[in-house]
Amino acid sequence: EAEVAQSPRYKITEKSQAVAFWCDPISGHATLYWYRQILGQGPELLVQFQDESVVDDSQLPKDRFSAERLKGVDSTLKIQPAELGDSAMYLCASSLALEGIGEQYFGPGTRLTVT
Amino acid sequence: AQTVTQSQPEMSVQEAETVTLSCTYDTSESDYYLFWYKQPPSRQMILVIRQEAYKQQNATENRFSVNFQKAAKSFSLKISDSQLGDAAMYFCAYAPSGTYKYIFGTGTRLKVLA
């Protein structure tokens, strides 16, 4: 069964360093999402792509976070510089389309620890 | 603002018994979707069940069923014949029709006792 791939699974970085996460959605899924999940809370949407275009990045802290999906397939989320409060699980999800009953398929996540 | 509230941080159920997880939401939209997702420890989140707001009939998926009360803005999940593999965090999520910007609740940790 096709799955959303994410790497790395775990990342420890020091404050002020740069960090990047990668996501490969299920083949054919046009919509890709990045979420941040702080321990004990539900996921919060950071950015949503439709193909290579950003649909919603209203919750993305743009002073330090950036996301791209250059060819409309895989995606990278970057944080520079990382802050202690960025420690969280970063989840990627994909779905077939923006419209309709768009079940989202989640990857295993990248757990980031900032020291 | 649209919000999703899960008031039970943790629930326990005996194996083979039935448990109900609560979820309420707030929206002014009339057309939307509701979901329950399961997040097992160290594994990815998977969809358990979904409900379209325009459907009056409650969704069911094998041992999982929902009680959708649109007027009360309530969407509870019932798990029958609980199994050890049901132990996980369960998240309720809301998405308005036309966009898949999910809004998640804070989750309920379900423990299944042997």
Please give the CATH architecture assigned to the domain spanning A5-98: Sandwich (2.60)
B52-106 pLDDT, tens digit each: 999 889 999 999 999 999 999 999 999 999 999 999 999 999 998 877 789 999 9
Q: What is the pLDDT of residue A49?
A: 93
Q: Are B45 and A106 within 8 A, CB to CB? A: yes
What number of CA atoms fall less than 13 Å from residue B45's CA on the CB side?
A: 27
Query: Per-residue b/e over A18-42, b at no fewer than 16 CB within 10 Å?
Result: ebebebbbbeebbbbbbbbbeeeeb
Look at chain B and report how many structural domains it folds into: 1
Structural tokens at position B98: 């036309």
Chain A residues lying within 8 Å of B106, measured CB to CB: 40-42
Residue extents of the structural domains in chain A: 5-98
Interchain pair B100, A3: CB under 8 A: no
Per-residue pLDDT of chain A (115 residues; tens, 9 = 90+): 789 999 999 999 999 999 999 999 999 999 999 999 998 889 999 999 999 999 999 999 999 999 999 888 999 999 999 999 999 999 999 998 755 566 899 999 999 999 9
Q: Could you write out the three-class secondary structure of B52-70?
A: ECCCCCCCEECCEEEEEEC
Task: Name residues whose C-beta falls within 8 Å of residue B37's C-beta, 6 or more positions apart in sequence.
Answer: A106, B45, B46, B47, B48, B90, B91, B93, B104
What CATH number is associated with residue B87? 2.60.40.10
Within 13 Å, how many C-alpha atoms sit on residue B51's CB side?
Answer: 26
pLDDT of amino acid A99: 57
